Amino acid sequence: MTMGLQQGSTACTCGHRHHDTRLVAITGGPGAGKTAVLELALHSFCNHVGVLPEAASIVFGGGFPRHDSEVALRAAQRAIYHVQHEQEDLVMGEREVAVVLCDRGTVDGLAY
């Protein structure tokens, strides 16, 4: 299992060890219910459904500075984009899960 990737809690009977992984971005504004949907998915689906954590939480939780200047905001959005992209590449390459639900996607940064 990929570090950071949470997988569904229900046993699967498909018998496949590798999958053609599909990415699904769960997006929306603050308070839209993204986290609730992702938690429900983890409890409702088998272990071939994964949930990637929000890249911004990883970036800022890891100590990336939060400054208000234009240069800092752009740097933060680039860091978030790269973390998201690398997480997606990792799960696509490992092929352990069939569907990966992403807590936001790479295009979400355009809204900020």
**Residues 88 and 10 sit within 8 Å (Cβ to Cβ):** no
The pTM score is 0.84
Q: What is the pLDDT of residue 111?
A: 62
Q: What is the pLDDT of residue 110?
A: 65
Q: What is the pLDDT of residue 112?
A: 56
How many structural domains compose the chain? 1
What is the domain extent for residue 92? 21-111
pLDDT of residue 37 exceeding 90: yes
Q: Strand pairing of 99-103 and 22-26?
A: parallel
* Residue 13 forms part of a structural domain: no
The 10s digit of each residue's pLDDT in 42-86 is: 999 999 999 999 999 999 999 999 999 999 999 999 999 999 999
* Residue 66 forms part of a structural domain: yes
